[in-house]
Amino acid sequence: MTRLWNDPADFADEMIDGFVAANARSVRRVTGGVVRSTVVPEGQVAVVIGGGSGHYPAFGGMVGQGLAHGAAMGNLFASPSAQQIHAVAKTADRGAGVFFSYGNYAGDVLNFDAAQERLRAEGIEASTVAVTDDISSASIAEKHKRRGIAGDLTVFRSASAAAERGDDLAAVSAIAARANERTRSFGVAFSGCTLPGAPEPLFTVPAGRMAVGLGIHGEQGIDETDIPTADELAALLVEKLLAEIPDGVEISGARVIPILNGLGSLKYEEMFVVYRRIAQLLEDAGIVIVDPHVGEYCTSFDMAGTSLTLFWLDDELEQLWDTPVDAPAYRRGSVVAAAQAAAAVDVATTEDVIAPGDADSQELAQLVRAALQTIVDTIDEHADELGRIDAIAGDGDHGIGMRRGSHAALAAGIHAAEAGAGARTTLARAADAWADKAGGTSGALWGVILHTVAVRLGDTGRPDAQAVASGIADSARGVQDYGKAEVGDKTMVDALVPFSSELTTAADGGASLTASWTTAADAATRAAVATADLLPRMGRARSHGEHAIGTPDPGAVSLALIATAIGELLAAGKDTAS
């Protein structure tokens, strides 16, 4: 249970403020997260990590000398936006390029990839290794689909040590990829976690039971057993990890760093009791234990649980591991303190000039504004339900994310419309704000949807029903290009594609926008309901596919709700677009 907060919506921001205030020696706040507050030599590859908040010491606590150069810090359990990641990376860059590393979650991948593309387009080299240590989240054949948990630390440290010794971007990437390949984790949980202000935990584990193979966002485990003794738990963790040794490693004589990670409310004392047995079992297997870690390295709010990571060293990885680190939450050896960097060189925020639209488009901008208000009202009303269905197979944040995104979009839309913007600029500003503030997968995708539609609305004149239908068709293609989901994968695409095709058919047949939209929204609703029968193949829900059968996809449901509500708005007489 989380007890202390002000407004839950401000929790992550206020947490970052306090974290920076307490650690100014190591970190400085910048747009999107934190960077080192100490001088970094020009020509050093910048290692930028990140992810949702709620996992401290991941990710901000791992920024400092010998570790990462910057961290993009998203909202609670939500990926940072591409804008945030890009801003942190730009600030951290020292002319040798940016190396990104983060836990492999759909929303993080989308947003980090988008930030990486933007950097490359600006002539800054960038490369990425997403951490995939959790062996319970996909089979070895699909290792690239595994999520990242406490194994983040080994990859971040290896990459950072390589960067500090002067490796170029390709070499840093290669080291990180090797560290990731040699890092395997497995975890269990005894209770769920409760986000600030949430009435209930994201998931619960029945009293006396243990979820096996948990994720760090409250994704459910793959199995459940009675709570074992400490020694039995040690045996389970070791057995799972020794059943999957990285290629080319011989167990006997292997040098391994074990990391027993606490998920947030497990006592250190309990972990030491478990670790005692883990050490015996590893030694019995002929493994040489190097620099064991027992503590909290990647938490999941107040979840009670633990994971074991084994990092299978080779000579070079061990040398890199042996370097000193001084980060807020992680210190090893003794670091020669670098000087504090001069005043912040934050990336400049672009000047806010809004080009006015013509009179027709300004009028349409008012409809856009009303539509954004409708989206906010719809999402506010259904946020709890969306969170509940997301928690069944995902991480429970869909309602929170959609609220954050839609509220930010409305505020930006109002600001633009009041400054005289046309429909395109109004909606495009709303799109950027949504993607920036919502975080997560759906936030990035709603940014794409609104942006593509905005382009067709233009800042002059009024589009007809067919132009709006073309905008929606563009957005369906954009979402698929960006998120790589097909119809049938159990995502918002399953509602968006039929919505788009019905809208196009009706508009091409000469129906008014209101009539076309209403027909299309009905199709989206039917399609969203039908996603209950599908097995998820994309996004977070994928690793817990079977739990999702019988429950519709939250992203498809929210899209259908929004489409329906906008149809009602149009029908209520504000159909000025055709």
Q: 469-488: which residues touch ligand ADP (CB under 6 A)?
A: 479, 483-485
- Beta carbon nearer to ligand ADP, 440 or 471: 440
Beta carbons within 10 angstroms of residue 261's beta carbon: 28
Helix or strand or coil: residue 330?
A: strand
Instruction: Sketch the per residue contact string, 415 through 444, with ligand ADP: x for CB under 6 A, - otherwise.
Output: -------------------------xxx--
Residue 163 or residue 497: which is nearer to ligand ADP going by CB? 497
Question: Is the separation of the CB atoms in 265 and 302 below 8 Å?
Answer: yes
Provide the minimum distance between the beta carbon of 399 and Mg ion in the complex, in angstroms, as a whole number.
Answer: 9
- Tell me if 217 contacts Mg ion by CB under 5 A: no
Whole-angstrom Cα distance, residue 225 to residue 208? 9
Q: How far apart are CA 309 and CA 385, in angstroms?
A: 35
Point out which span in 57-65, 276-284, 306-314, 550-558 binds ligand ADP (CB under 6 A). Answer: 550-558
Give the one entry of Mg ion, ligand ADP, none that residue 264 binds, where binding means its C-beta sits below a cut-off of 5 to 8 angstroms depending on kind.
Answer: none
By the 8 A CB rule, do 120 and 86 touch? no
Does 552 sit near Mg ion (CB under 5 A)?
no
Contact status, residue 329 vs residue 298, Cβ threshold 8 Å: no
Closer to ligand ADP by Cβ: residue 143 or 388: 388
Is the CB of 106 or the CB of 521 nearer to Mg ion? 106
Instruction: State the nearest-atom distance from the C-beta of 246 to ligand ADP, in Å.
Output: 28
Choose the catalytic residue: 217, 382, 398, 544.
Answer: 217
User: Which residues lie below 8 Å from residue 359, measured CB to CB, with a gap of 6+?
Assistant: none
User: Using the rule CB under 5 A, which residue among 108, 395, 459, 494 binds Mg ion?
Assistant: 395
* Segment interacting with Mg ion, rule: CB under 5 A, options 116-124, 385-393, 452-460, 471-479: 385-393
Please choose, from the candidates 75, 79, 69, the residue with its C-alpha nearest in 3D space to the C-alpha of residue 26: 69
Q: Strand pairing partners for 48?
A: 70, 100
Beta carbon of residue 400, minimum distance to ligand ADP (angstroms, whole number): 8
Q: Checking DSSP bridges between strand 330-332 and strand 27-30, what pairing results, if any?
A: unpaired
Q: Counting contacts by CB under 6 A, is residue 539 touching ligand ADP? A: yes
Catalytic status, residue 86: no
HSE (CB half, 13 Å, CA atoms) of 151?
33
| Secondary structure (DSSP) of 429-488 | HHHHHHHHHH-HHHHHHHHHHHHHHHHHH-SSS---HHHHHHHHHHHHHHHHHHH---TT
What residues from 104 to 133 belong to the interface with ligand ADP (CB under 6 A)?
106-107
What is residue 111's three-state secondary structure?
A: helix
Contact predicate 551/389, CB 8 Å: yes
Instruction: Using the minimum distance from each CB to ligand ADP, give the nearer residue, 216 or 278.
Output: 216
Asked if 492 touches ligand ADP (CB under 6 A), the answer is: yes
Site string for Mg ion, 338-377 (x = CB under 5 A): ----------------------------------------
* Closest distance to ligand ADP from the beta carbon of 441 (Å): 4
Question: What residues form DSSP beta bridges with 183?
Answer: 311
Site for ligand ADP in 87-106 (CB under 6 A): 106
Q: Is residue 394 within the footprint of Mg ion (CB under 5 A)? A: yes
Strand order in the sheet with 27-30: 27-30, 33-36, 70-76, 46-53, 98-103, 126-131
Alpha carbon of residue 113 to chain centroid: 12
Q: Which is nearer to ligand ADP, 57 or 218 (CB)?
A: 218
Least distance CB 104 / ligand ADP (angstroms) = 12
Give the range of 19-27, 28-36, 356-364, 382-390 binding Mg ion by CB under 5 A. Answer: 382-390
343 Cβ neighbours under 8 A, 6+ residues apart: none
- The two structure tokens encoding residue 331: 């210190």
The length of the chain in residues reads 578
Does the protein bind ligand ADP through residue 554 (CB under 6 A)? yes
Closest-by-Cβ residue to Mg ion is 394
441 interface partner picked from Mg ion, ligand ADP, none, CB below 5 to 8 A per type: ligand ADP
Query: Is residue 498 involved in binding ligand ADP (CB under 6 A)?
Result: no
For residues 114 and 327, which CB has a smaller minimum distance to ligand ADP in the complex?
114
Least gap, CB of 205 to Mg ion (angstroms): 20
Where in 396-415 is the site for Mg ion (CB under 5 A)? 397-398
Distance between CA atoms of 63 and 323, rounded to whole angstroms?
A: 15
The interaxial angle of helices 398-418 and 359-393, nearest 10 deg, is 170
Q: Is the bond preceding 77 in cis, omega lying within 30 degrees of 0?
A: no
Query: Which of Mg ion, ligand ADP, none sits in contact with 106, Cβ below 5 to 8 A by type?
Result: ligand ADP
Question: Rule CB under 6 A: is residue 61 a binding residue for ligand ADP?
Answer: no
Closest separation between CB of residue 544 and Mg ion, Å? 12
Supply φ then ψ for residue 169, to 5 degrees.
-60, -40
Q: How many residues bind ligand ADP (CB under 6 A)?
A: 27
Termini Cα distance of the chain: 52
Pairing relation of β-strands 209-212 and 183-191? antiparallel
Residue nearest to ligand ADP (CB): 555
Q: Which two tokens stand for residue 364?
A: 């349409």
Applying CB under 5 A, does 51 fall inside the site for Mg ion? Answer: no
Separation between Cα atoms, residue 237 and residue 225, nearest integer Å: 14
Comparing CB distances to ligand ADP, the nearer of 357 and 394 is 394
Q: Which residues between 387 and 416 bind ligand ADP (CB under 6 A)?
A: 390, 394-395, 397-398, 401
**Chain positions contacting ligand ADP, by CB under 6 A:** 79, 106-107, 390, 394-395, 397-398, 401, 440-442, 445, 479, 483-485, 491-493, 538-540, 553-556
**Chain positions contacting Mg ion, by CB under 5 A:** 390, 394-395, 397-398
Name the residues annotated as catalytic.
Answer: 217
